[in-house]
Amino acid sequence: MSGRTAFVTGGSRGIGRATCVALAAAGHRVAFCFGHDEEGAAATEAAVRDAGGEVLALRAAIGDAAAVDGAFAAVEERFGAVEVLVNNAGITRDGLLARMSDEAWDDVIRVNLTGAFQTIRRATPRMMRARFGRIVNVSSVGGHIGGAGQANYSAAKAGLLGLSRSVAREYATRGITCNVVAPGPIVTAMTEAQGEDWMATVATAVPVGRFGTPEECAAAIAFLCSDAAGYITGALLPVDGGLGMGH
């Protein structure tokens, strides 16, 4: 598994940062992109280096085809063809459906779903030539149980499953796998900002009774990126403490 080139979108914090570190610890060269969080990107770079990995940070607007192409070109020039792709970038524009603007819908679909389509489309030709590829798309428990005030986000995250299974079928004979990890409530700066009372209330809905950690998600992602996971494709792996079981 060592020595491959990995590219993680949305790597400046949270699950993305933890994934970069986990892949570096597995021996990969790690490139990641971020939107605006330069301070977070610098922290991810430092964490990857601490894990013993080579790292390349790129500012890129996921959802913009030209930006995606430019990011891949930079990775290829520095590290070679991308062999491991993790689509983690995501945004929210929450609001009740009746009041949701076209812009809020379009922004979330563009980044969370179209962005994954564009990175996969860009990565797979060289994966096919190498007859090896690992693609993991980070969805959400909200993609299969829904979320009030999150019609755009839930739709995009649900769409990742259909995209991933189509990719899995198209490329199964080429040594390329495509899987989905669906996190539940995870401890991040965003959730911690909601306050302890809110987090305690949400945790009561989770069968294991707590929030997960970015590192727990990253461990699942890193496994699906490994050689050992070569017979797993088109799978949905929940990392949600049992919140979405039965869906």
Tell me the pTM.
0.96
φ/ψ of 221, rounded to 5, equals: -65, -45
| For residues 153-172, average pLDDT | 98
Position 2 scores a pLDDT of 56
d(CA 234, CA 185): 23
Taking only the tens place, the pLDDT of each residue in 167-207 is 999 999 999 999 999 999 999 877 787 788 889 999 999 99
With bands split at pLDDT 50, 70 and 90, how would you rate the model's confidence at 1? very low
| For residues 146-163, average pLDDT | 96
Instruction: Give the least confident one: 1-5, 31-35, 109-113, 115-119.
Output: 1-5
Are 15 and 186 spatial neighbours (Cβ–Cβ below 8 Å)?
yes
Q: List, by residue number, the catalytic residues.
A: 153
Taking only the tens place, the pLDDT of each residue in 27-77 is 999 999 999 999 999 999 999 999 999 999 999 999 999 999 999 999 999
Joined tokens for residue 37? 């969080």
